[in-house]
Amino acid sequence: MPRTAVIAGVGPGLGAAIAQKFAHEGCRVALLARTESYIQNLAADLDDTEGTGLAVQTDLTDAEDVTHAFESVREMFGPVDVLVNHASGGAWNGIIDLSVEEFDNAMTVGPRGGFLCAKESVPDMLGNEGGTIIFTGATSAMRGREGALGFSAAKFAVRGMAESMARELGPQGVHVAHVVIDGQIRTPDVEDTNSAAYLDPVAIAENYWHLVEQDSSAWTLELDLRPHVEAF
């Protein structure tokens, strides 16, 4: 039976690559993001694969909006089997210049948004013989980045959530994994000619799918991905 996958936070680059990979593997993929026009176009593209797409305009910072989004997903596709928490809020300032509003946004989009989506997904997985939850992390989840206090704090929080949930839910058949993206991702707007210095979003998406397919006797908790060229 096809899996139902929710990608929370979808834009050009990695979010789209994950959605495309999962759809090509036959998944019913729900795309959650604020920009409705983009996810509608992507969902239409997914309909031309082995799977299918569903665009659900969602404010991941709004608990009611998240609940309504998952209700729409279940109505169209059934219970959630896979959740990718991919959203993050950029807050690229240090302690002096970072505003309270910027800090709050980083924490609300990433950790809180991931929490809300997991709260909606986990009951489906526990009632349906398990599932997979993947959190997209960053180098800043391992070592705080200078001048990016809000982003670093949020990514540390996401990593802690993933580790806690993995220990709680693993024995119940839910695989929780955290992916450290240690480097810059090549997105459509990247013009750097040294393409080897960037992570390929398509290759990253292959690794996300590998996490979904892993045998439960050898689950990965944390996956560290970086380009082979030392560039950072």
Mean pLDDT over all residues of the chain?
A: 93
Q: What is the pLDDT at residue 57?
A: 97
Rounded to 5 degrees, φ, ψ at 83 are: -125, 130
**50: helix, strand or coil:** coil
Q: What is the pLDDT at residue 194?
A: 61
* pLDDT above 90 (res 193): no
pTM: 0.93
- The architecture (CATH level 2) of 4-191+208-225 comes to 3-Layer(aba) Sandwich (3.40)
In the chain, where the domains are located: 4-191+208-225
Q: Rounded mean pLDDT of 25-40?
A: 96
**Rounded Cα gap, residues 136 and 134, in angstroms:** 7
Q: Provide DSSP, 124-164.
A: HHHTTT-EEEEEEEEGGGTSPPTT-HHHHHHHHHHHHHHHH
For the segment 115-174, what is each residue's pLDDT rounded down to a tens digit? 999 999 999 999 998 999 999 999 988 887 887 899 999 999 999 999 999 999 999 999
For the segment 53-90, what is each residue's pLDDT rounded down to a tens digit? 999 999 999 999 999 999 999 999 999 999 999 998 87
